[in-house]
Structure formats: C-alpha cells, structure tokens
Chains A and B, each alone.
Chain A
C-alpha cells in the first residue's frame, strides 16, 4: 500500500485535530506506519485549522499533505482551498450542512454529507459532526471496522473520559449509515 494521505480541514473547535488523532490511531492499531501533523502557529489563530494524516505500510516521507487522497472538508474556506487539491481518483467528504457549494471537477468523487446536522439531529453536539463524517469515510473506504475504531479510541482517550468512547462510536455508526 502506498501512503494514504488524508487532509482534515475546518474551523478550530470543530474537532479537526481530534478526528485526525482518531484516524491516526486507527492506523496505529492496524499496525501501519502513521503520521499526524497539525497546522500550527498563527495559521490556527485565524480560526482555520487543518491536520494531515498519513497511513502507510512503508516509511512516510513527508507528513505534510499537500495533495490528499481523502479530504474531510468542514467549512467553506477549506472547500475553496483544498477540494481542487484532491488527487485524481481521490475523494472529498464535504459537510453539506455547512458548505452549500458544489465542486464541478471531474476526477474526484465528492460525497456531500450533512454531517453536522446529522449529529445535532441525533442529540450530539456540533463538534461530533466531524466524527459522523469520519464514519462516512470509513464506510466508503472500508479501511477498518467499528471494533478497530473502538480500539483506536481506547489508545488515546483517557480512562477518565471512557464514556467519550461510546459517544464517538455512536457518532461513527451514524456516519456508517449515512
């Protein structure tokens, strides 16, 4: 498997870094090479936030993703900036409850999912929208099953916040069925 490059982008507070950590830990518990790299510094202070996740069988050269295979896009600025950067044959997951634009490029698959609305309608707080979206990514890519997601959550969510694991799993399941 070549390096699978993910880019997750949105506003600060949407759980971008957390979703990235979950994805990276899915790679970790699947015995893959993984890297997680946040945008840092003033770039984050404007409220726009992104993080790169690479999952691979081989050593990962650069952990910085410029041309993602998979994009999770949670706001309009990210749509404008990153959807056109998705690799040919790649996929963009666009939160259609936040972004009302459509991409007219041909070479990528766009999934329009009202992830944040789905989360809120099902009793989650807004920052679970991105986890719902991650569920959708897992469904479309088939990278892992729910059990792996649980294992991944257990590796980095502290025991004190164990209830958070179930909540996240429920949000993932919502995405799997979306």
Chain B
C-alpha cells in the first residue's frame, strides 16, 4: 500500500472512518482541530454523522448516547477538554459503553499552552473520571502507529465493552509523517448488532437499559469485579510495548509517545559512542507493561525515564521494577520537546 504524508490528527480520523466509525462528536480545541475538520469533510461520504457539540461535556454525552445504540463512534479533545469530558467517560465506563476517545495533550495546568506535553499521564491512566475504573490507554509514538492503534481501539472497545483512550500530544497530532492503510479505499463494513444495545427493541427482544446506576452495593460490587475481570483479560491479550537494544544495556531509557522518539535517537547516538544504552517504550500505558519492562531492565544498572512533564510515568516504572534498580528522571515541561542531544548529555552524566 502506498504511503502518503498525513498529520497525526487527520490520520486518526481517516483510520477511524476506515474502522467503521459512523459518528463523531467534538468541540474545537487546539491542537486537535484537524480531527473534527477531517470528519466534517469526510464522514458523511460513508453514511456517517459529524456533529460539533456545544461543549466538551455535550460531545462526550453524545458519544454516550450514540454508543448506547451500538454505533461505532468517537470524540477527540485536548487536555482542558478531556478534563471536562471525564464525567461522561466515567458514566460510559459505568454503563460499559464502547467508544474511542483521542486525547491530544497540550501543556497545563489550566489553559497552559497549546504546545505538546505529556502532563496528562496521570489523568489518563488514573483519573478519567470518578469511581473504580480501569480503562485501556494506547500511547502511539508515530503517525503510523496512531493509525494502527485507532484501528485496534475500535475492536477492543466493542470486544471488552469499554471506552478506549488514545493518548497523543500536540507533536504527534500536528506533524506529518508517511502513513499507509491496509486497503486502497475505505471498505464499508456491515453494521454489527449487539444484544445489549438500546436502539429500539422492535418487539424482538426484552427492553435494554443502558445505565451506570446500581444503587445496591452488592450489585455494584459484582458489576465492578466482573468489569475488572474483563480488564484482566484485556491485559493478558493486549498489553503492548517495544524494547530496543536492552539485552546488554547498562542503561535503559523508558519513555512513551513523542518523548520515546527522541529517546530512540539519543540511544542511537549513545551506541555510536560505545555506551550500552537500550530503550523501553510502552505502547499501552494502561495496562502498563510490567512484565516487559522487568525483562527489558534485567541487566540494567540504571533506568532513566524521560517525559515531557514533571514525571508521571516514572511512578509506574518504579512500581514495576519494585525499586530494585535505581530509576532516574529527566523531564521538560511547559510545551518543550527535548532534543536527542539533550538526552544524550543526561545519559553521559548517568554513566
């Protein structure tokens, strides 16, 4: 399949259409506006609906309603907007509704900056709304991987009946890179039917109720544990990561998303200098690839975590490694993307 240059935001939209996404609901916020623009131009050509909502909150609740009918749908936003959406995401998790949510991080807190950041790792992996919930989160590092995880996210959302988050940032959203899709054209998929949806029972089944309300504790606990069991299965089947040159590495650098690209360049530069450096990159940050990072770091004397934040994933790395290996942190904040040379300098100091 031939490659074309696409922005990350547009590539996700195109991948979603190809995955059979039929409805997109969103609200403008930089740096992810290309998603809505793309959807508004293209989705109707495939029998879909684009609707610009009056707010982030309305948008996620439109997704909630649409998902309740078993229709493939998505929304996208950026940090302040995702904060607003967390209520709806929690309700979706509580009602076991499948949908894809793209989060294109910018710098915060507050209005912050529209420049790329990775400061929403905690928000995304820990606190996408109130309540007991674990949601799958993909953190792609290239435009092609944004396409790949989008395709996968729609399937996983339906298979496990859960919202699936794709965590990108302004860099991945705005940059163009070569991408290819599996097929030349959009192949229309037959509409799936599910037995749990609220789309009008047609007199053919009992009524269905989509709700997150379970006022009896026994009932709620049971639902939560059953849902967690599904997440455990998801963990076993879909936890994803990538290790490069870790076998003989004295230093393993762990990073995800945009930061992991820079880290990979820094590692190549370090290897040229004879430094034994490897890289570890989680593709799913929830579930976090615990076993894989333990394996990647088994010969490491030190682990360096690089993030475009004050340090958030570093907690997961420390927990995964159970503090058996010293874990150092290097981060940039406020919208800065560190350069490979900058990381190399840190590695040299660690040595």
- B171–A37 contact, CB under 8 A? yes
- Assuming the contacts A35-B177, A61-B340, A62-B340, asked whether A41 and B265 have C-beta atoms less than 8 A apart, the reply is no
Contact of B337 among A28, A62, A155 (CB under 8 A): A62
Q: Is A86 an interface residue (CB 8 A)?
A: no
- B261–A60 contact, CB under 8 A? yes
Contacts of B264-280 to chain A: CB distance below 8 A: 264-266, 268
Q: Is A64 an interface residue (CB 8 A)?
A: yes
Q: Is A34 an interface residue (CB 8 A)?
A: yes
- Assuming the contacts A62-B340, A63-B175, A66-B339, asked whether A36 and B265 have C-beta atoms less than 8 A apart, the reply is no
Chain B proximity of A51: nearest CB distance (Å): 9
Chain B proximity of A55: nearest CB distance (Å): 11
- A40–B177 contact, CB under 8 A? no
Chain A proximity of B308: nearest CB distance (Å): 11
- A28–B171 contact, CB under 8 A? no
- B176–A59 contact, CB under 8 A? no
- Nearest residue in B to A24 (C-beta to C-beta)? B5
Contact of A59 among B174, B175, B264 (CB under 8 A): B264
> Residues of B contacting A34 with CB < 8 Å?
5, 176-178
Interface size class of A (residues with CB under 8 A): 20 to 34
Interface of A is mostly: mixed
> Residues of B contacting A42 with CB < 8 Å?
114
A63 to B175, CA, bound (A): 7
> Residues of A contacting B115 with CB < 8 Å?
41
> Residues of B contacting A58 with CB < 8 Å?
265, 268
Chain A proximity of B276: nearest CB distance (Å): 19
Chain A proximity of B13: nearest CB distance (Å): 17
Q: Is A25 an interface residue (CB 8 A)?
A: yes
A20 to B340, CA, bound (A): 22
> Residues of B contacting A41 with CB < 8 Å?
30-31, 114-115
- B176–A62 contact, CB under 8 A? no
- B30–A28 contact, CB under 8 A? no
Q: Is A21 an interface residue (CB 8 A)?
A: yes
- A156–B265 contact, CB under 8 A? no
Q: Is B3 an interface residue (CB 8 A)?
A: yes
Contact of B5 among A21, A38, A64 (CB under 8 A): A21
A63 to B268, CA, bound (A): 16
A41 to B337, CA, bound (A): 16
- A61–B265 contact, CB under 8 A? yes
- A62–B5 contact, CB under 8 A? no
A17-56 to B contact mask, C-beta < 8 Å, 1/0: 0000100110010000111111011100000000000000
> Residues of A contacting B262 with CB < 8 Å?
61-62
- A64–B265 contact, CB under 8 A? no
- Nearest residue in A to B244 (C-beta to C-beta)? A59
- B4–A155 contact, CB under 8 A? yes
A58 to B338, CA, bound (A): 18
Contact of B174 among A33, A37, A60 (CB under 8 A): A37
Which of A21, A24, A37, A62 has the most C-beta atoms of chain B within 10 angstroms of its own C-beta? A62
- B176–A24 contact, CB under 8 A? yes
A64 to B332, CA, bound (A): 14
A155 to B261, CA, bound (A): 26
> Residues of B contacting A24 with CB < 8 Å?
5, 176
- Nearest residue in A to B2 (C-beta to C-beta)? A155
Contacts of B239-289 to chain A: CB distance below 8 A: 258, 261-266, 268
- Nearest residue in B to A62 (C-beta to C-beta)? B262
- B4–A62 contact, CB under 8 A? no
A38 to B170, CA, bound (A): 11
Contact of A61 among B3, B174, B178, B264 (CB under 8 A): B264
- Assuming the contacts A25-B5, A28-B3, asked whether A61 and B170 have C-beta atoms less than 8 A apart, the reply is no
**3 closest A-B pairs by CB:** A61-B265, A36-B176, A41-B114
Supplied contacts A33-B178, A34-B176, 12 more A-B pairs, CB within 8 Å: A3-B265, A24-B176, A25-B5, A34-B5, A36-B176, A37-B174, A38-B174, A58-B268, A59-B264, A62-B338, A63-B175, A156-B5
B residues neighboring A (CB under 8 Å): 3-5, 30-31, 114-115, 170-171, 174-178, 258, 261-266, 268, 337-340
Return 21 A-B CB contacts under 8 Å, by A number. A21-B176, A24-B5, A28-B5, A34-B5, A37-B174, A41-B30, A41-B115, A59-B264, A60-B265, A61-B261, A61-B262, A61-B263, A61-B265, A61-B339, A61-B340, A62-B261, A62-B339, A63-B171, A63-B175, A64-B339, A155-B4
